[in-house]
A = this chain, B = another copy of it.
Amino acid sequence: MNNSQLPSTLPETERTRHRRLREQGSLDRSELNAILEAGFICHFGVVIDGHPMVVPTVYGSDGQNLYFHGSVASRSLIASPEATVCVTVTHVDGLVLARSVFEHGVNYRSATIYGVPRLITDQEEKMAGLRCLTEHATPGQWDYARQPSRKELAATALLALSLEEASVKIRTGGPDDGDGPDAALGIWAGVLPLVTTWGEPEADPLLPDGIEAPKHITARSNTRAG
């Protein structure tokens, strides 16, 4: 695993440079990490037969790499170790309702990572990557659930993607037309927030009586996600 520290400022490459709405761009790696920590589903983009394919999938992050897993038969995963992928994680925080339709927008936090993923074959590294993935989505779950057998490990493809080449875009706050001519129109303007929370755990109907949900699960209920 690559334990080298990545620079605290994100690089501006031909792909990650903010061309438009530059005020929404951030080069702060801590913002990248915060966006990645807040989620567990990304949109994984890969080129297959010359056309793009965008697949929602689970990820884990250790601050150096993103980890993705899937069946060894997965088309998007199999194709990607040879080619550049683009992975995007987005949190939608609300609708920005302006006086004019033209100024409408969305409050969001988004991270995009480019790179060529590495297929992990070393067993120890694979277990560490799967642990990262599992703990990222559900902290505490790796040690609570039954860990993968050798057969299950062999059926799982694990990819690592360096967080080196990444970009961040964030929009917060209200609409931008409060000090322009449209302010005189008497139209309400503001933000309608979108809030994502964890619900109450729903036990598997096949679960025998007397097995309570563990604290690391129940403690999440009614807390903010994303």
- For the complex, what is the distance from the CA of A192 to the CA of B56, rounded to whole Å? 19
Report the Cα distance A51→B46, complex, angstroms: 8
Contact B47–A101 (Cβ < 8 Å): no
Q: Which of A95-118 contact B (CB under 8 A)?
A: 95, 97-102, 104, 106, 108, 110, 112, 114
A175 to chain B, nearest CB (A): 6
Chain B residues near A156 (CB-CB < 8 A):
102
Question: What is the count of identical protomers in the complex?
Answer: 2
By a CB distance below 8 angstroms, the chain B residues around A84 are 50-52
A41 to B84, CA, bound (A): 24
Q: Are A101 and B145 in contact (CB under 8 A)?
A: yes
Interface residues in A174-226 by Cβ distance below 8 A to B read 174-175, 178-179, 182-183, 185-207, 211-214, 217, 220-221, 225
Contact A145 B86 (CB under 8 A): no
With both beta carbons as reference points, the residue of chain B lying nearest to A220 in the complex is identified as: B192
Residues facing B in A48-79 (CB within 8 A) are 49-56, 58, 71, 73-75
Q: Is A38 on the interface with B (CB-CB < 8 A)?
A: no
* Cβ–Cβ contact B204 & A193, under 8 A: no
Chain B residues with CB below 8 A from A81, complex form: none
A122 interface hit (Cβ, 8 Å):
no
Q: Is A141 an interface residue when CB atoms closer than 8 A count as contact?
A: yes
Verify if A25 is at the interface (C-beta below 8 Å from B).
Answer: no
Q: Is A90 an interface residue (CB 8 A)?
A: yes
For the complex formed, measure the closest distance between the CB of A100 and the CB atoms of chain B, giving whole angstroms: 4
